Chains A and B, each alone.
Chain A
Amino acid sequence: MSPSMSAQKITVRCKINGQDRSFTTYPMARLLDLLREDAGLTGTKEGCGEGECGACSVLVGGELVNSCLIPAIQAEGTEITTIEGIAEGEKLNFIQQAFLEYGGAQCGICTPGMVLAVVYLLNRIKKPEDLTEAALRTALAGNLCRCTGYTKIFESVVRACHARFGASAGASSGDQR
């Protein structure tokens, strides 16, 4: 999606990781470029540019989206969360901590998108039993990882779920995965 050369630039105002931001950009520029180039938030990655890999996943208005498919104009007035907004200062959030401890990140290029997909998944879970194996697989099926074979990612998510709901949580044990 390349912005037409003749298009007029517009102003886009949105909240990114809790901060009010404003950008002048082409209406059809990709949210991915807005984040990486205009906002300088390079934690969001581009793996394919066509909605297949999930490396560019961010939350817009609490929904998980591929930022390579979202035109900048649609960001107007929204609240956006990127990987840079997940940790609390230097303290990793519980999902990041689980990925660190259980080997959920290898080369790390899928990791920002993957972590956001997990944030989204665990946000929607009300009780640990909701994290069935099927729910887990479906939730991550849009985020490709070529390094891990997903085993340690699944384990990390189950551990993160434990961390959130207490030790007995999680329908499938990480050890059995």
Chain B
Amino acid sequence: MASRLRKEGREKLTGRSQYVDDLRLPGHPEVLHGTTVRSPVARGTLKAVRFGGSIPWKDFVIVTAKDIPAIGGKNAIAHILHDQPCLVDEQINHPEEAIVLLAHPDRFLLEEARRHVTFEIDPLPAVFTIEKSLLKDPVIWGKDNTFKEFTIEKGDVDGVWQTADLIVEGEYHTGAQEQLYIEPNGMIAVANANEGVTVWGSMQCPYYVHHALTHLFALPDDKVRVIQAETGGGFGGKEDYPSMIACHAALLAWKAGKPVKIIYDRAEDLAATTKRHPSSTRHRTAVSRDGKLLAMDIDFLLDGGAYMTISTVVLSRGGIHAAGPYECPNVRIHARALATNSPPYGAFRGFGAPQSLFALERHMDEIAAKVGLAPEELRRRNFLQEGKATATGQIIREKLDLPKLLDSALQSSEFIKKRKAFQEANQDPANPIKRGMGLSTFMHGAGFTGSGEKMLASVAAVEATPAGTVRVLASNTEIGQGQRTVFAQLVADALGIDFDLVEVVQPDTKIVPNSGPTVASRTTMIVGKLVETAAISLRQTLIQSGCLAKTYTTAEFRKACGEYLSKLGALKCFSQYQQPGHIDWDDQKYRGDAYGTFAWAVYVAEVSVDLRTYEAQVDHFTAVQEIGKVVHPVLAAGQIEGGVLQGIGYALSEEVQLRNGRMANNRLTNYIIPTAADAPDIKVIFAENPYPHGPQGAKGIGELPLDGVAPAVLNAVAMALGPEAASRIHSIPLLPESLMKALDGAAESVKGERS
């Protein structure tokens, strides 16, 4: 069957889709604009706030932390911990921390006013790097700057070093990365004691926002309503920060007695909202002469920024993925997330795994070089297989065929042939363009880590309407990935009715049950399964009621719905997540089945490096992956292609320059994402192996592509430049400046050796 067309495609293509900044609230002709005044320092004690200039302050709505107790709630953005305040009371912990909120009908005057709010602050010493945070001087969070620490142990790593043929060590770094959804964050709030709080906004997780608002306002669940507006991209960047903006807009609206809209401009969005965690990883690996991994000792560190937010779970995923798709009898992964005085880092597609897999997959190439094996051969000798155990002791119970994925990637990219040709051509000193081929092999666990899904216990529903159409009710959001289309397809297929008869309801906490957040590659695999199951039970109900025969046409189905509803009342079927029986996880020891399943992949990058400009570019990219069953080929390929290009940006151009904890390059002119001119052709190949617990056999795929791109690209650059420079190519982003250093350093040491 041809791929179904995107449900909301027409609205998007004609400009009719309503994103938050496009909304007009019926019954609310006047909406005030809101803005946020932020700390000028990274750490300090707030002494006083001054409202200066010739601003008519009496016309402004002004909110500070002092207003929160009067409302009855707690000054915190409730999430895993409640450590992050909604507004600074006294203690300032990062340079974009919100201190004062302002609202006014005229947004130009509002901006003028924002600049005339000044603060008196006693500065305190601050911490800006992981290394400094480890020293605990000063301690800026908790007892020892550590948000979370855990160790995964398999076998006995320390028993191996003595006897191993080879020990290979390496240290790898990744920088922060901005999600850069093209629609900046924004929220509109209506809030008062009578009606409670309602917000509309750009978001991935309506129930996270709901949770934060009920805590801040101390309101019962039914007095808070969160409605997702059409959302212009998220990639993790609209997972937790929208709660903050919703809280700010609602506080202003409550005090103003009028709706308030806060739309970030690009500069504010870049500077203040969450980004991918910077990381630092150390590998020490024991290998046999024939290239078998004997022991892997991995130290994995994340910079979490000033508050915990979701760093603990990012660390879990990053740590669990750190040993990759390899079988090694002895593994130790020591993982820590540390506090610094930067804005908190948050979710970004991959969620810790791109960091730890970058380190691992660069390191695998280094090992291959030391052992004297081709990179693909080293990997092949160590691949996980069915029946074997991951680092957490999870036994692979599916038909896993990594050699087949590898062969497919090698063949379709002409890896071996091109590598040989490039190696020869690169010898020519007169040729300033050096080319390289690089690969990475990796996996991504779909759904929440460990017992996360069990604790979430998500619920989705499907209901019939009198007209015989079907509505899907879930809190998962369409953010570009195609959730609406996939849910509609799953329900239409389960019911055997036309795709057009299925409507996926816009998430609104008053209407849809909590099917959990739109994160962790869980929407299709976990919630799609719930939606499919609910649809099947709706069909069974219709059949059991006698309204519908066992086989039926779409027209008969519609008639049956009408008949059921008029005779028996509402027809709405729910489905709640039940953990598949094979999953067994120990949250304390980090042992067992970390995920229900994994998607598996082999990626190949072909690059060229210009020695005159020190620029590296990706010329071709091949992405081979096994993602269970591909339920919607166009959307699935779209996810992979988009993720690959984000990964190329992560590898080569996207640098967050931090000065004293603050993003200095918070503009699109100097934070550089790939354009149409930079995008290589991306070949996407799917291998299928249906997952019995996913809808139609699907596994999660959203995050997978980000995990393996950067190491494939850097491995290719390293190949292009030869072993001397390669040993210096351990960090991303690999900008021309860093490439120049790597090459000059290599030249230096070659000279040194010769003399």
**Chain A interface (Cβ within 8 Å of chain B)?**
2-3, 5, 36, 41-50, 52-53, 55, 82-84, 86-87, 92, 96, 99-103, 105-112, 115, 136-138, 140-154, 176-177
Known: A53-B182, A87-B13, A149-B679. 16 other contacts (CB 8 A): A2-B108, A42-B19, A55-B182, A84-B15, A92-B14, A101-B5, A103-B637, A107-B182, A108-B17, A111-B12, A141-B675, A144-B675, A145-B676, A147-B480, A150-B676, A152-B637
Once A103-B6, A138-B677, A143-B676 are accepted as A-B contacts, the answer to whether A50 and B480 lie under 8 Å apart by CB is no
Residue pair A48, B14 in contact (C-beta under 8 Å): no
Residue pair A52, B12 in contact (C-beta under 8 Å): no
Residues in B whose Cβ lies below 8 Å from that of A111: 12-13
Q: Please, which residue of chain B has its CB at the minimum distance from the CB of A136? A: B676
Q: How far is the CB of B632 from chain A (nearest CB, A)?
A: 10
Residue pair B266, A48 in contact (C-beta under 8 Å): yes
3 smallest A-B Cβ distances: which pairs?
A: A43-B15, A107-B480, A109-B232
Pick 17 A–B contacts, CB within 8 A, sort by A: A5-B108, A45-B183, A50-B667, A100-B6, A105-B13, A108-B13, A109-B232, A141-B676, A142-B675, A143-B676, A146-B182, A146-B673, A147-B233, A150-B641, A151-B679, A154-B676, A177-B681
Residue pair B642, A148 in contact (C-beta under 8 Å): yes
Residue pair B265, A49 in contact (C-beta under 8 Å): yes
Q: How far is the CB of B333 from chain A (nearest CB, A)?
A: 31
**Chain B interface (Cβ within 8 Å of chain A)?**
3, 5-6, 8-19, 21-22, 108-109, 111-112, 179-184, 230-235, 265-266, 479-482, 634-635, 637-638, 641-646, 667-669, 673, 675-677, 679, 681-682
Residues in B whose Cβ lies below 8 Å from that of A151: 637-638, 641, 679, 681-682
Residue pair A103, B13 in contact (C-beta under 8 Å): no
Q: How far is the CB of B674 from chain A (nearest CB, A)?
A: 8
Residue pair A49, B266 in contact (C-beta under 8 Å): yes
Residues in B whose Cβ lies below 8 Å from that of A110: 182
> Measured between alpha carbons, how far is A149 from B235 in the docked complex, in Å?
13
> Measured between alpha carbons, how far is A105 from B182 in the docked complex, in Å?
13
The listed residue (B15, B16, B18, B21) touching A46 by CB distance below 8 A is B21
> Measured between alpha carbons, how far is A11 from B483 in the docked complex, in Å?
45
The listed residue (B5, B179, B182) touching A145 by CB distance below 8 A is B182
Residue pair B14, A107 in contact (C-beta under 8 Å): no
Residue pair A107, B231 in contact (C-beta under 8 Å): yes
Residue pair B677, A137 in contact (C-beta under 8 Å): yes
Q: How far is the CB of B403 from chain A (nearest CB, A)?
A: 27
> Measured between alpha carbons, how far is A64 from B621 in the docked complex, in Å?
31
Once A50-B266, A107-B231, A151-B679 are accepted as A-B contacts, the answer to whether A86 and B12 lie under 8 Å apart by CB is no
Q: How far is the CB of B656 from chain A (nearest CB, A)?
A: 16
> Measured between alpha carbons, how far is A54 from B266 in the docked complex, in Å?
13
User: How many residue pairs at the A-B interface have CB separations less than 8 Å?
Assistant: 175
Residues in A whose Cβ lies below 8 Å from that of B673: 144, 146
Residue pair B480, A112 in contact (C-beta under 8 Å): no
Residues in A whose Cβ lies below 8 Å from that of B16: 43
Residue pair A92, B482 in contact (C-beta under 8 Å): no
Among B637, B676, B681, chain A packs the most CB atoms within 10 A around the CB of: B676
Residue pair B642, A2 in contact (C-beta under 8 Å): no
Residue pair B235, A146 in contact (C-beta under 8 Å): yes
Among B481, B641, B643, B667, chain A packs the most CB atoms within 10 A around the CB of: B641
Residue pair B109, A41 in contact (C-beta under 8 Å): no
Q: How far is the CB of A49 from chain B (nearest CB, A)?
A: 6
The listed residue (A36, A50, A84) touching B668 by CB distance below 8 A is A50
> Measured between alpha carbons, how far is A99 from B11 in the docked complex, in Å?
12
Once A86-B14, A107-B182, A110-B182 are accepted as A-B contacts, the answer to whether A149 and B677 lie under 8 Å apart by CB is no
Residue pair B645, A149 in contact (C-beta under 8 Å): yes
Residue pair A146, B12 in contact (C-beta under 8 Å): no
The listed residue (A5, A50, A146) touching B646 by CB distance below 8 A is A146
Residues in A whose Cβ lies below 8 Å from that of B645: 148-150
Residues in B whose Cβ lies below 8 Å from that of A108: 8, 11-13, 17, 230, 232, 480
The listed residue (A45, A106, A138) touching B19 by CB distance below 8 A is A45
> Measured between alpha carbons, how far is A3 from B108 in the docked complex, in Å?
8
Once A2-B108, A146-B646 are accepted as A-B contacts, the answer to whether A100 and B13 lie under 8 Å apart by CB is yes
Residues in B whose Cβ lies below 8 Å from that of A52: 667-669
The listed residue (B6, B11, B179, B232) touching A45 by CB distance below 8 A is B232
> Measured between alpha carbons, how far is A107 from B564 in the docked complex, in Å?
37
Residue pair A109, B19 in contact (C-beta under 8 Å): yes
Residue pair A100, B15 in contact (C-beta under 8 Å): no
> Measured between alpha carbons, how far is A128 from B235 in the docked complex, in Å?
36
> Measured between alpha carbons, how far is A11 from B634 in the docked complex, in Å?
47
